Amino acid sequence: MQGKLDKIANITLVMKTLDNNLPFNLQIENQLFSSGYELVAGGDEAGRGPIAGPVVAAIVVIKPGIYIPEVDDSKKLSSKKREKLFEEIITMVTDWSVAVVGPDLIDRLNIYRATKFALKVALNSLSIKPEALILDALELKGFSGKQISLVKADEISFAVACASILAKVIRDKIMEQYDKDFPGYGFKKNKGYLTREHREALELLGPSPIHRKSFEPIKSFYGQLKLFEKV
């Protein structure tokens, strides 16, 4: 119960003390800076929804004074814009890290736990330890600093938006390589999401090694295969 109250308090604090001189997506970071936190991190992931490929998590650390006006939630940006911003972000931020968790581990842990694991790996891989961490609707156990979990944090936090761009760009590059390794599924275009063309490719080719066996319709495919083997 206390955790839920803390979340409400965090959101209320931000809404009550908006600084009209600052961009909206820098308000949370500014409040942390004003409270004495000098190293603020934002974390986000890409690839929770697809039926193929990895989930990729990124953590970005910023100090006061770091801001890129064009940064926004990665889903709102074109691929060309994301790639341009990727280079700016890794050049300007204080520190950053990315972790990739493949489909085998996703199947073993489930996607929620695999996402948290990826974020923990990325966090522990940083060269600089952040004093505060902002996440998108997740909490990480073991982080000793201040932690803020907000729904759609990538829309209201600059640091989280930066992390979302890094995770998205890197995952897209991975899926483009998988398109070459496993042709026929359209991974370059669909990035592992279940489109009509992707479903048709599955019916024709069957699952590839990077399809997630715990996700439908892959799960049913292997379930039917086991039944067939028992006959």
The CATH number covering residue 55 comes to 3.30.420.10
In a domain, 191, yes or no: no
User: pLDDT per residue over 111-132, tens digit each?
Assistant: 999 999 999 999 999 999 999 9
Q: How many distinct structural domains can be found in the chain?
A: 1
Helix (H, G, I), strand (E, B) or coil at 132: strand
Known binding residues are: 44-45, 136
Q: Does pLDDT of 92 surpass 90?
A: yes
In a domain, 150, yes or no: yes
d(CA 124, CA 134): 15
In a domain, 77, yes or no: yes
Known binding residues for a divalent metal cation are: 44-45, 136
Helices (H), the chain: 2-16, 27-34, 79-92, 103-109, 111-124, 153-156, 158-181, 187-190, 196-205, 218-230
Q: DSSP class of residue 149?
A: E
Q: Does pLDDT of 17 surpass 90?
A: no
Helix (H) or strand (E) holding 133: strand 132-136
pLDDT of residue 222: 84
pTM of the model: 0.88
What is the percent of the chain with per-residue pLDDT over 70, rounded to a whole number? 88
Please state, rounded to an integer, the average pLDDT across all residues of the chain: 91
In a domain, 202, yes or no: no
